[in-house]
Amino acid sequence: MRIFVIGAGKIGQTIVRNASKEGHDLTVIDNNAKIVNQLIDSYDVMGIIGNGASLEIQKAAGVQGADLVIAVTSSDEINLLACLLAHKLGASDTIARVRNPQYSKQLQFMKDDLGLSMSINPEYEAAKAIARNLALPSALNVEYFANGKMELVEMRIEPHSALNGLTLSELSTKFKISLLVCAVVRGEEVIIPVGNFTLQENDKIYIAATKQNLFKFFQKTKKIDKMHSILMVGGGRIAYYFCELTKKSKYHIKLIESKHETCKFLSENFSHIEIIEADGTDQATLESEGIENIDAFLALTGVDEENIIISMLAQKRKAKKIITKVNNSNLHSMMETIGMASVFSPQDIIANQILSYIRAKANKRGSNVKTLYKLVNQKVEALEFNVKTKGKYVGIPLKDLKLKPNLLIVGIIRGNEVIIPNGNTIIQIEDSVIIITTDSYLEDLAQIIG
């Protein structure tokens, strides 16, 4: 596919890094010559230096023949204008990054006129990810499939855990809960396990199940810590959207922000949040606001280093749940080595959504990628496919399908029913099928056959 990325900031670079590995014809447009040249040198992409919202620049770049134009500059207005121009020039599909809450509310009304195929809001998606994590606090991270019908949670097997030493087949027998351990990280090794696999202390495991069954599982395996008190540092857009999402919650939330105007804006819009105007990176401030007795601590400033340092303090003060925003994906593995695994990157969340869209658009066959998540530092993919037409995998028991190695079918959604599959399960037309694999770049469900 011919894909144009307008804006070479953090999100644009993340999209280029991921999409360039999949063989697409990529062109990057940005005013910053240094960054454009760096991307040209690092990846197999074309580069245009200039304003992506300029008609002349788009014509010169060849946008009129584009399959997809993705506008992700720091300006909502430039992104919307760039997509409008690309649509008028004949680009098949356009995606715009729109962060302003007021624009977001109007987009549905404007979408057709602008020719937008999709709008993305990194901060809103990040806020939703935080809310998911807090709803199941015993998990390190939580992802949703099939509109929330199935969840994929990440957890670590702690010392003295009831899971330590169990094989996967024993786990099913012992707990009598319908779930599937679909990936295990042991040291540097990533494993797609089978029934005789034995779990060990310090394994990081990924479990697929419904929300109800996951809650039962955590009740039986470890103490469920409900979240009551939340301390947030940083009053930017992620905090704004999180405050919106928690308006009807029973959380007691404090938010520390140093900018007076931001504090005033938040206090005027959210009566359920206690706003503290102070330096949230100051240890004395954090301790005076009760960091030692907090259930959940959210580090949401715009500076990675600040978020890491205050998260380390929260960890030292025994906060039950710590969620840290880190824009630099390279820092994620370092965070894990110091015991903080609930780390998220807004641009990675959005890059996954766009990559899902690209794969679905690139596929011309009967099943499309609906959802995609990159796990374990990009080493594992979790994908959701819609089955549209009959293929060689439809109507045949899974035990009779010769699946590719390092690939597991972890769930099938059939209407409102969630099926954790076994060897006798069959795939039907109109199913949603969820796959875990270490083999990247699956575009179609037919590719699971070895």
pLDDT band of residue 223 (cuts 50, 70, 90) is: low
Measured in whole angstroms, the distance separating CA 71 from the mean position of its chain's CA atoms is: 19
Q: What is the mean pLDDT of residues 84-102?
A: 90
Q: What is the pLDDT of residue 356?
A: 84
- Total tally of structural domains belonging to the chain: 4
* CATH code, domain with 237: 3.40.50.720
Residue 92 lies inside a defined structural domain of this protein: yes
Residue 42's pLDDT band, with cuts at 50, 70 and 90, is very high
- Residues in CB range of 115: below 8 A, 6 or more apart: 83, 84, 86, 87, 88, 91, 94
Give yes or no: residues 7 and 108 share one domain: yes
CA-CA-CA-CA dihedral for 104, 105, 106, 112, to nearest 10: 70
Residues 298 and 235 in one domain: yes
Do 63 and 155 share a structural domain?
no
**Pick the residue with more confidence: 173 or 365?**
173
Tokens for 103, please give them.
Answer: 């624009």
Q: Which of residues 57, 92, 120 is at a domain's end?
A: 120
Percent of the chain with pLDDT over 90: 58
338 and 231 together in one domain: yes
Domain hosting 181: range is 139-221
In this model, does residue 303 exceed pLDDT 70?
Answer: yes
Domain boundary pick from 164, 186, 221 = 221
The CA-based dihedral angle spanning residues 61, 66, 72, 77, taken in that order and rounded to the nearest 10 degrees: 80
Secondary structure element (H or E) that encloses residue 407, with its range: strand 407-414
Whether residues 109 and 166 fall in one domain:
no
**311 lies in some domain:** yes
Please give the pLDDT value at position 161. 86
Q: Is the pLDDT of residue 15 over 70?
A: yes
Is residue 362 in some structural domain?
A: yes
Percent of the chain with pLDDT over 70: 95
Residues 18 and 106 in one domain: yes
Same domain, 6 and 115: yes
> Are 361 and 427 in a shared domain?
yes
pLDDT of residue 61: 94
Is 172 inside any structural domain?
A: yes
Where does the pLDDT of residue 337 fall: very low under 50, low under 70, confident under 90, or very high at 90 and above?
Answer: low
Reference 87, options 57, 51, 113, 60; nearest CA is 113
Say yes or no: 9 and 65 in one domain. yes
Q: Is the pLDDT of residue 366 over 70?
A: no
CA proximity to 82, closest of 96, 93, 68:
96
Q: Is residue 125 part of a domain?
A: no
Task: Assess whether 35 and 105 both reside in one domain.
Answer: yes
234 and 196 assigned to the same domain: no
In a domain, 56, yes or no: yes
Please check the confidence at residue 395 and state whether its pLDDT lies above 90.
yes
The pLDDT confidence band at residue 209, using thresholds 50, 70 and 90, is very high
Are residues 427 and 412 in contact, defined by beta-carbon separation less than 8 angstroms? Answer: yes
The pLDDT confidence band at residue 224, using thresholds 50, 70 and 90, is: low
342, pLDDT greater than 90: no
pLDDT of residue 118: 87
Residue 169 lies in a domain: yes
pLDDT at 442: 83
Using N-to-C axis directions, what is the helix angle for 346-362 and 122-135, rounded to 10°?
110
pLDDT, tens digit, 9 for 90 and up, residues 166-204: 999 898 888 889 999 999 999 889 999 988 899 999 999
Whether residue 121 contacts residue 79, with contact meaning beta carbons closer than 8 Å, is answered with: no
Q: What is the CATH number of the domain that holds 188?
A: 3.30.70.1450
* Strand arrangement, sheet containing 380-387: 367-375, 380-387, 432-437, 407-414, 417-419
The per-residue pLDDT for 172 is 81
- Out of 197, 221, 245, a domain closes at 221
Task: Tell me: pLDDT of 233 over 90.
Answer: yes
Q: How confident is the model at residue 440 (pLDDT cuts 50, 70, 90)?
A: confident
pLDDT of residue 367: 67
Q: Tell me whether residue 131 is in a domain.
A: no
Do residues 241 and 329 both lie within one domain? Answer: yes
What is the structure's pLDDT at 136? 85
**341 pLDDT above the threshold of 90:** no
